Amino acid sequence: MIATTPKPPYFAVIFTSTRTKNNANYTKTSERMIALAKDSKGFLGIESAREEMGITVSYWESLAAIKGWKLNSEHLVAQKEGKEKWYKAYKVRICKIERDYGFEV
């Protein structure tokens, strides 16, 4: 579940959101977007959790790969639907991972 990512540097999109109560088509689209991201050029991994707020972090080889994903035509439609229906608020942060380390039992 914790994404297996290469040695830094690599890039990430931190997508933080709060939801409306409108669930129409949300889960289906959300799953489709994850499948689509996984098939996109330069995709490295994705991590997601939601309680009061949702946080999805996707990892990418380059800023160009992130741009490619943002401009994917099916993703653009979902972004529009998201603003119209599913999200009260969201924030997208594009970042460069400079260092990482981990722990496993």
Phi (first) and psi of residue 79, to 5 degrees: -60, -40
Q: What is the pattern of x (binds a copy of itself, CB under 8 A) and - over residues 54-73?
A: xx-x-----x----------
23 binds a copy of itself (CB under 8 A): no
d(CA 42, CA 10): 10
Decide: helix, strand or coil at residue 14: strand
90 binds a copy of itself (CB under 8 A): yes
Length of the chain: 105
Q: Which residues bind a copy of itself (CB under 8 A)?
A: 1-3, 5, 8, 12, 14, 16-18, 20, 47-55, 57, 63, 83, 87-105
